Copies of this chain bind each other. A is one copy, B any other.
């Protein structure tokens, strides 16, 4: 019983495997169905995107080292956990115009189940007084490739892990390093990641992180419900104001509708742990997202109830802050300060629920976190939360 580690990429050692495959038969006693496979995609916008696919025996997880260690999608049998973005990726960063002066070029690479927004900024585009872009939408990290990728198999715990290291460094400015370990257990239908962001520079730095977790069909369908233990909630703007009464229920796709965004602070257990659940109307299937409000104190819900062809999707977004422009979040003291050498870390778990019993159990668990806490539902944008 031991931990087995393979390094797939390490640019400091001039090491990068073209392809890699490890499977159950190579580690006796770990069952006979798992595998981890690295490939490189070719053609169109995908040209040059590396994928590392973990098959834990039941679920396949596609990880994208080329896109900041995002998780493209999870699959079980013929089912996909993810969404159908009007951008068909995964898209290589060379095709994402991240510094389009509008600050919105990031959208051209956006099609993953899990996208990290950060590290220097994570919100809406920010501009200086002359109208010049200072922070592009959702930051840089999703379009930065990992320079180190390891696969770690622990045959005592039965876990399969892909670890990646991604730097976001610019001399004179920030030097931030993300180390993520994405783990799933043999035959499970869940996966989790442990992220550490380190200020590898010699002076104080600032960071933001938001996990943009995107779920579409089939879990998302008219009548699907988001169950969350709410401490307080407010609409982001006048568009979301119109949707406050039904904030937790998904409406049908409406071609000309505009995204609704809701900001929350969530209730949590004594140790800060909390979770939210998206379930389909019949409560047969769903997705739970678990995290700790001490690490990720702000929560955003993105309801994009547009036509299916335009990307009918919900965004479940635990974060260090609200995804407003960086300068506003800074005024509100919602930017993480990291001294030289200091780290920030967080754990997030995604649980894919495939039967009514599990959905019911999760719904109950969230009600229990809600407990006696009376949710403060604001019907208008709140000063300090929205610009």
| Chain A residues within 8 Å of B, Cβ to Cβ | 9-12, 14-16, 18, 41-48, 85-88, 93-95, 97-102, 104-105, 107-108, 110, 128, 130-134, 144-148, 167, 169-173, 175, 200-203, 253, 255-256, 259, 306-311, 340
Supposing A88-B12, A93-B94, A95-B93 touch, asked if A134 and B170 sit within 8 A by C-beta, the answer is no
Q: Which of B85, B104, B146, B311 contacts A44 (CB 8 A)?
A: B146
Query: What residues of chain B lie closer than 8 Å to A146, measured between beta carbons?
Result: 44
> Which of B105, B130, B309 has a CB less than 8 Å from the CB of A175?
B309
CB distance from A322 to the nearest CB of B (A): 19
Bound CA–CA A169/B44 (angstroms): 13
A86: contacting residue among B46, B88, B99, B169, CB under 8 A: B169
Question: A85 is contacted by which of B41, B45, B171 (Cβ under 8 Å)?
Answer: B171
**Identical chains bound together, number:** 3
The interface residues of chain B lying within 8 Å CB-to-CB of A108 are 169-170
Chain B residue with the shortest CB-CB distance to A18: B42
Least Cβ–Cβ distance between A103 and chain B, in angstroms: 9
Set B18, B134, B147: member contacting A45, Cβ < 8 A: B147
Cβ A131 vs Cβ B134 within 8 A: no
On whether the beta carbons of B101 and A340 are closer than 8 Å, the reply is no
How far apart are A39's CB and chain B's nearest CB, in angstroms? 8
